[in-house]
Amino acid sequence: MGRKKKEKPEDKKKMGRPPTKPVTKRKAYYVTVKVVNSMNSTSTDVLISKDSVAEIKQLIARSPQKVEVLGYWNGKEYEPIDLD
């Protein structure tokens, strides 16, 4: 019978997915869009950021899905905005 080679820690192969860094939100206007997949009956909330209120109004007008305006992210919390 052959001798078993002793593995060094450097020789071990890395397994699995590497850890990911959490997303940091930038200062912008945020909305959530509820996307419904009719193929497998699931719904997902997608967070979208825009730079101006005009871009948010355009997104709301063009989107067939349900859009919820969260507000302006100032780094700590959402500030409510008026879309009128």
Q: What's the gap between Cα 40 and its chain centre?
A: 21
SS3 of residue 81 by DSSP = coil
Question: How far is C-alpha 64 from the geometric centre of its chain's CA atoms?
Answer: 20
Q: How far apart (Å, rounded) are the C-alpha atoms in residues 34 and 4?
A: 56
Which tops the pLDDT comparison, 3 or 84?
84
pLDDT digits (tens, 9 = 90+) for 29-67: 999 999 998 899 899 999 999 999 999 999 999 999 999
Pairing outcome for strands 29-37 and 66-73: antiparallel
Residue 12 pLDDT: 61
Distance, in Å, from the CA atom of 72 to the CA atom of 56, rounded to the nearest integer, reads 11
Predicted confidence at residue 78, as pLDDT, reads 95
Q: Rounded to two decimals, what is the model's pTM?
A: 0.69
